Amino acid sequence: MSTKFIPVPLPIQEEPLDVVTLDANAIADDWLSQFCGSLKTNSQAEPAAISSVFVTNCDPFWKDHLALTWAQRTARSAANIDELFGKAVKLREPQGFQLISATGMAMSPRLGWIQAMFTFITNVAKCSGVVKLVPEDGAWKAWTVLTKMDDIIGYERDLARLDLPDQVPDTLAEVDVLILGAGQAGLQVAANLRALGLSTVVVEQGARVGDHWRGRYEALRLHLSKYYSQLAYRPWPENFPYYPSLHDIADGLEDYSRTTHLNILTSSRAVQAAYCEAAQKWSVDIMSHDGTLRTVEAGQLVFATGVNGAIPSVPYIPGKDGYKGTALHSSVYRDASEWKGKRAVVIGTASSGHDIAQDLCNAGADVTMIQRSPSMVVAIEDVQALYGRIFKADGPPLEIADLMWESTPIPINRTFSKMNLGSDAVRAKHEGLRKAGFMVAETDPMDAVYNRGGGHYLDVGASALIIDGKIKMKAGIPITAFIPAGLAFEDGTSLDADLVVFATGYNLQSMSQTARQIVGEDIGHKLKDVWGLDTESHLRGMHRNSGHPRLWYAGGDLGMSRYYAKLLALQVLATEKGLLTSRLED
């Protein structure tokens, strides 16, 4: 559940500071030496040694992805950093810190930092890190630190394994890991597990990999660029569209499964899974579309069945049986070809609702959108300003770009996004939407992504149609019933419609519901909630401890699942090898 976000204080300097012209490597190297010293002197006698190299004029952050805690943790404030990482440093014994690169980065004349990348090792793993340094009282201090596990020592990734053909699925009755779902999350987890030397089978309901995308409406385009929306280890070709279509992604996923030689069981679904505590294995019954049943034994089970799942959320409206038009959910809508000159109503004002309304309008339909409550509208240019700083044609290699993006804690990125989204152009667009009858919600796109799992719109053209009156609005007035000609409303008005599209989303808990249905309630009731930010601004249940030591959840868009698939694969490997011990969870 989302709550109102309070922007975090930023380390804004009293005077302008040109960080780009400074000797970033010398500044970073000096800080790294102090940091190493603070880790060595950390003890019960000096509990504040670690935080001494962090800022004090605003909240410092230390975010760890497995490297020191075997978890996703973020300590915010000096006291929390000393408490959490004082324990972690003793357990993991980090050493061998090496500066890789450093550069000055400026957001404004008085807000900038030195960003440095470094590597180190622990008693378990090879790791990397990123620090943002800002000046404070004549010294350079850490504002944020990210530490991330890259490889487990002795079990390093070997990407050459992805180029080698593997056993075909029909010959595999026992595997290290069974993955349910061959979307962007499941495939990238499988690729990472293959690179780590673990055997996998991916179970996919569709007849072909990518069919989940092929079944969406034809107007669908990604609203984030191809530079962010890539797959691990297999970059898109140069001629790939900047905003890929559903067919681009569907075919790209299918190609990915082939070029990484993944074992995919298509036209199949898991019907039940039983866990044997003594053997520490899952026995999973898999049914193909022709009714054939087979059993696969797996050491670990990954649910990558979609955060929003396949369960459409359709509100109950009485009288539907008497309605003489066509009513369908957005998951069934394909295109506007048969609706030219017809009256169409789209219920819902998030991304699908806007896309479908725009598609119908462009095809010559008379379109009205029904809005129950205020919706968030974000200019695509502002989102690109946030993501495009890192993910771009001339940007760093993808693994480095991911590390740079993750190095900024979500509360800080949310604060940055609010700074970017307050322009005169955005205010004018929102005012135009309000005049057209659209209810505009306070803009916080990261709340929509991380807490609500949607419910917002990145404007790629529909807002102009609403402002110009080409798409009409009916907002804030509840629907009371279907009538033969269309819909009736609480204020006594009605709206004729040949087509009603429910762009009302999906059940956000359907991934955990799917897991419970398959593993049963004895295990299912122990599983943690999925999605939504926890108190440290990490996604609940995703790519981390699910509540069962050999069951995992994976999901997110292409970029998110690309980064976190690697973290999940490392945890799976560590569990397989008995190395995942002393996890420091909140």
Domain membership of residue 534 (yes or no) is yes
Spatial separation of the C-alpha atoms in residues 287 and 267, rounded to whole Å? 9
Whether residue 214 sits in one domain with residue 136: no
Strands 494-496, 486-489: pairing kind: antiparallel
pLDDT score for 48: 64
Report whether 450 contacts 487 (CB < 8 A): no
String of b and e for 302-321 (b: at least 16 CB within 10 Å)? bbbbbbbbbbbebeebeeee
Q: pLDDT tens, 4-61?
A: 678 899 999 999 999 999 999 999 999 999 999 999 876 544 556 899 999 999 999 9
pLDDT score for 508: 63
Whether residue 496 sits in one domain with residue 350: yes
pLDDT score for 1: 47
Report whether 371 contacts 347 (CB < 8 A): no
Strand ranges for 238-349 from DSSP E = 264-265, 268-276, 281-288, 293-303, 326-329, 343-347
Which of 124, 152, 180 is where one domain is finished?
152
Spatial separation of the C-alpha atoms in residues 401 and 184, rounded to whole Å? 19
Which of 478, 502, 526 is where one domain is finished?
502
Strands 494-496, 125-136: pairing kind: unpaired
CATH number at residue 375: 3.50.50.60
What residue ranges of the chain have pLDDT lower than 70?
A: 1-4, 42-48, 309-310, 420-422, 453, 508-509
Instruction: Provide the domain limits for residue 239.
Output: 159-309+507-577
Determine the straight-line distance between the first and last CA of the chain, rounded to whole angstroms. 19
Domain membership of residue 582 (yes or no) is no
Which of 137, 152, 167 is where one domain is finished?
152
* CA nearest neighbour of 397 among 3, 86, 117, 114: 117
Whether residue 361 sits in one domain with residue 338: yes
Q: Which residue has the tokens 């279907």?
A: 482
pLDDT score for 44: 46
Q: What is the CA radius of gyration of the chain?
A: 25
Global pTM value: 0.94
Whether residue 513 sits in one domain with residue 494: no
* CA nearest neighbour of 209 among 261, 174, 159, 273: 261
Whether residue 137 sits in one domain with residue 33: yes
Q: pLDDT tens, 428-444?
A: 999 999 999 999 987 77
Whether residue 418 sits in one domain with residue 473: yes
CA atoms within 13 A on the CB side of 34: 18
Give the chain's domain count: 3
* CA nearest neighbour of 122 among 144, 97, 146, 156: 97
